[in-house]
Structure 1
Amino acid sequence: MTKTIIKTEKLCKTFSSGGIQQHVLKNLDMRLVEGDYTIIMGSSGSGKSTLLYALSGMDKPTLGEIHFADKNLMELSNDQLAIFRRENCGFVFQQIYLLDNMSVLDNVLTSGLLVNKNKRELIKKAKDLLQQVGIDEHAWSKFPSQLSGGEAQRVGIVRATINRPKVLFADEPTGALNSKSSDNVLDVFTNVNRSGQSIVLVTHDLKTALRGNRVIYLKDGAICGDLQLGKYSENESVERHEKLKHFLAEMGW
Structure 2
Amino acid sequence: MTKTVIQTEKLCKTFSSGGMQQHVLKNLDISLVEGDFTIIMGSSGSGKTTLLYAISGMDKPTLGEINFAGKNISKLNNDQLAVFRRNNCGFVFQQIYLLDNMSVLDNVLTSGLLVYKNKRELVKKAKELLHQVEINENSWLKFPTQLSGGEAQRVGVVRAIINNPRVLFADEPTGALNSASSDSVLDVFTNVNRYGQSIVLVTHDIKTALRGNRVLYLKDGVICGDLHLGLYSENENFERHEKLKHFLAEMGW
* TM-score range normalised by the length of the shorter chain: over 0.9
Q: Distance in 1 between matches of 2:181 and 2:117?
A: 33
Distance in structure 2 (CA, Å) of the matches to 1:239 and 1:143: 41
Shift of 1:47: 0.2
SS in 2 for 1:238: helix
Shift in Å, 1:109: 0.3
1:74, distance to aligned residue in structure 2 (A) = 1.4
User: 1:192 is paired with a residue of what secondary structure?
Assistant: helix
- Using the aligned pairs only, state the percent identity: 84
Q: What is the aligned partner in structure 1 of residue 201 from structure 2? A: 201
Unaligned runs of 5+ in 1: none
Offset at 1:77?
A: 1.1
Name 1:240's counterpart in structure 2: 240
Query: Do residues 46 (structure 1) and 15 (structure 2) align?
Result: no
1:103-252 map, 5 Å: 103-252=103-252
1:150-184 CA distance string (max 9 Å, x none): 00000000000011100000000000000000000
* Alpha-carbon separation, structure 1, partners of 2:183 and 2:75: 40
- Secondary structure at 2:30 match in 1: strand
Q: TM-score, normalised by structure 2?
A: 1.00
**TM-score of the superposed pair, with normalisation by structure 1:** 1.00
- Alpha-carbon distance in 2 for matches of 1:156, 1:117: 22
In structure 1, distance between residues paired with 2:111 and 2:204: 28
Q: Deviations over 1:82-106 (max 9, x none)?
A: 0000000000000001011100000
- Which ranges of 4 or more aligned residues in structure 1 deviate by more than 4 Å? none
Q: Distance in 1 between matches of 2:116 and 2:71?
A: 22
Equivalent position amino acid for 1:105 in 2: L
Distance in structure 1 (CA, Å) of the matches to 2:57 and 2:163 = 17
Query: d(CA) in 1 for partners of 2:220 and 2:75?
Result: 27
Map of 2:7 onto structure 1: 7
